[in-house]
Amino acid sequence: MGVASEGMKVKEYIWRGHDPTAVVVMTEVAVFLIQRTKHALIETAIDDKELEKIVKFLKNDPVVDSVYDCKSDVIGLDFFRFKTEIGLLREQLKTMLFLLSLPLNRGMNVKP
């Protein structure tokens, strides 16, 4: 018994046929195809407005000189992966690291 012997189209056979294993096999094939092509089904990069917000946020940092080569991947409905190259201002970074290394009460008349 099969599609030809029943005189049905494949879709009709799956839905009304007498072979339940056909439904299982077709479902497995469908799941496999969805998993293999999900990158084409889901947007691959975040939209330009969101990207601009992230770049603006990074550029507002006083030690950041430039932001370039930004890449993103959407990995779910509310999740994405983001990668970029950041050029740093060496002198500002040195100053910031130096200030962070100082004890909090140095230079202040604060008694422990």
Q: Which residue has the tokens 């879709």?
A: 11
For the segment 105-111, the average pLDDT, to the nearest whole number, is 55
Q: Is the model's pTM score more than 0.85?
A: no
Determine the straight-line distance between the first and last CA of the chain, rounded to whole angstroms: 89
Token readout for 28 is: 């497995």
Please give the share of the chain, as a percent, with pLDDT higher than 90: 21
Per-residue pLDDT reduced to its tens digit, 10-52: 777 777 766 777 777 878 888 888 888 776 666 678 888 988 9
3-state secondary structure of 106: coil
- Angstrom distance (rounded) from CA 30 to CA 39: 15
